[in-house]
Every structure is written in structure tokens, then in C-alpha cells.
Amino acid sequence: MRSLSFLARLLAAAAANDLTRGLAALGSAAENCATRAGAAGLDFARCVQDAASYPNFLLPRPLFDEALRNASCRLPGASRALRRHTLDISAGGSDCSEQARRLDVEVFREHPPVALIKGFAPNATCARLLLVAGGLDSLSPAVARGVAGGFYRRSSSKNVANHELDAHPALQSLRAEMFLAAKQLTGYSLNSTSPEPLNIAAYRNPGDEYRPHCDGRCSGDRHRPGERVATSILYCQVPTEGGHTTFTHDALKIAPSEGDLLVFGYLIGQTMARGEAEHSACPVLAGGKWIATQWYAEENG
């Protein structure tokens, strides 16, 4: 028995040593790549992956992802859009006024899509939403532990029921416009009868973050009816420093302004995306952040 536990300790020590070496190697690869590849984005991700390639590496995938994401968060600046275009949407509010809006869109990834709509919601709509939600102090802590110890997620959040939104014309049309924008930008046949409530999340303290995760099943297998296929995030308050949204595998780093709406999908044909779906909220360094997240499913059949 004694020799067995000795062996177990030896193996554990070797594994811990591998992790330390793996993280150190990835850290220095990221530093080299930051000077060579520059801005956050695919070139940076490829550079790090080439220098410290997975799986011929000492880190399990979740740790590798987290370290790559941390490196993206640390890079100065943000990713540049691949292209820009305009999007026309018209969603009648409860007053039935059919007014089309032309919106500026920045595309960061084509497929599965990641796109940012500039100036989607005015501050007054965010203020109304917060009022209906009961204010930031009414959110509950959303805290979970991470693979590397420390926090996987540290923020606070709350769901706002659909009927509460529908009681306010401005919020009802916000919902309708978010749906239309998500549908057009993803090209998915999204189900407008959203079963999921809008989620309010706040990152109010320095270090608050949400490490790499998927909103749906990032399993790489066949899509199942009714499951999440896309997400939109409305940024109602952005921090003065940190708090960017990243997509791990292509090291995208998005720096939205207040009122912008991020839309991303994770369905490729009939297959659920894997790594392309993984995203994170970088640690907030200064100022506060609060967002409203909506998840979408496709129509059945």
C-alpha cells in the first residue's frame, strides 16, 4: 500500500510539474506572439497554437483554453472587424408603428457568425430595463469555481420574465428587434416564441469575469430540436478598463460601446459547433459592466 501511494504522489507531482511547465511555455509563446502577430485575432491564436500546440502539449484542453483566453485578455486593444455592412430591421412596437431602422454591423467572424451591431439600444431603454429588473442591487451572486482554481465565473445575475418585458412597449420592441437582428445575422430559422427569459448580468467589482464557456452544447454532434443555437448580448454599461468579450479559439477580443448588441451563433449546418462557440468575459479592471443576454433556439422541423 505504501509503495502505491508513493507512486500516486509521484505521478501527481509529475502532472503538477507538467502543468507548470505547460503554462509557462504557453505564457512565453503568448508574449512572443503578442509582438509578432500583434492584435487579438486569428493570427495571434494560430501563433500561440503553433508554438505550444495542443494536444502535443502538457496542458489539458480546458487549461490550455483558459491560458489562451487569459493571454487574449492581456493583449492591448481589441480585434478589428473583418468587414462592415448595414442591416435594415423593422419591428413594430405595441403601437404598431412599422419603422425600419438601418444599423451598422461589424463582422468579426463569418461562420459560425460573430457580429456587433453598433448603437442598437439607447441608454433610456437600458435604464428602463434595469428599472423593470429591480436595479443592479437585486441581482444574485453568480459564482462558480474554475478548472485552475480561483473563479470560473464571478458576477451577479437575474432573469427578467417575458411578461415583465411585454408590459413595456420599449422593451417589447427591444426584444422584437433583438430577435430580428439575431435571425438575420445568423441566417438561422430562429423561433420567435422565445422560451428563455432575458438574463441581466453585472460585473461590478475589479476581477469579476466569466472564463471560457459555451452557452449551448459545444459538442460537435447533431443539433437537437429546441436547444440553444445563438446568443445576443446587449451591453448597457461597459467598463472603463477590461471586461472585453473574447472568443477563445480565434482569440477574438471584442470591445463594445454602450448600447451595442453582439450576436453570435454556434450551429454549423445541422451540427453544434465545438470550440468556435467558446467565449468569455475578461476580468473587469476598472469601472462596471452590465449586460442583457438573450438565448435563441431554432424552429422545430
Ligand X SMILES: *[C@@H]1O[C@H](CO)[C@@H](O)[C@H](O)[C@H]1NC(C)=O
Cell of 254: 471584442
Question: Measured from the CB atom, is 74 or 82 closer to ligand X?
Answer: 74
Question: What DSSP string describes the chain?
Answer: -HHHHHHHHHHHHHHHHHHHHHHHHHHHHHHHHHHHT-SSSHHHHHHHHHHT-SSSSSS-HHHHHHHHHHHHHHSSS-PPPSEEEEEEEE---TT----EEEEEEEEEETTTTEEEETT-S-HHHHHHHHHHHT-GGGPEEEEEE-TTSSEEEEEEEEEE-HHHHHTSHHHHHHHHHHHHHHHHHH---B-SS--SPEEEEEE-STT-EEEEE-SS---SSB--TTSEEEEEEEEEE--SEE--EEETTTTEEE-PPTT-EEEEE-EETTEE-SGGG-EEEPPEEES-EEEEEEEEEBPP-
Question: Measured from the CB atom, is 51 or 107 closer to ligand X?
Answer: 51
The strand pairing partners of 272, in sequence order, are: 267
Q: Radius of gyration (Cα) for the chain, nearest Å? A: 21
User: Shortest Cβ distance from residue 59 to ligand X (Å)?
Assistant: 8
User: Shortest Cβ distance from residue 115 to ligand X (Å)?
Assistant: 23
Question: Measured from the CB atom, is 115 or 133 closer to ligand X?
Answer: 133
Task: List b or e across 186-200, with b for residues whose CB sees 16 or more CB atoms inside 10 angstroms.
Answer: bebebbeebeebbbb
Cell of 221: 454532434
Question: Measured from the CB atom, is 123 or 271 closer to ligand X?
Answer: 123
User: Shortest Cβ distance from residue 62 to ligand X (Å)?
Assistant: 9
User: Shortest Cβ distance from residue 57 to ligand X (Å)?
Assistant: 13
Question: Measured from the CB atom, is 112 or 242 closer to ligand X?
Answer: 242
User: Shortest Cβ distance from residue 161 to ligand X (Å)?
Assistant: 15
Question: Measured from the CB atom, is 193 or 270 closer to ligand X?
Answer: 193
Q: Using CB under 6 A as the criterion, which residues of the chain lie in contact with ligand X when the complex forms? A: 23, 63, 66-67, 70, 123, 127, 130, 148, 150, 191, 193, 195, 209, 283, 299-300
User: Shortest Cβ distance from residue 245 to ligand X (Å)?
Assistant: 14
User: Shortest Cβ distance from residue 6 to ligand X (Å)?
Assistant: 29
User: Shortest Cβ distance from residue 112 to ligand X (Å)?
Assistant: 21
Question: Measured from the CB atom, is 62 or 93 closer to ligand X?
Answer: 62
Question: Measured from the CB atom, is 115 or 198 closer to ligand X?
Answer: 198
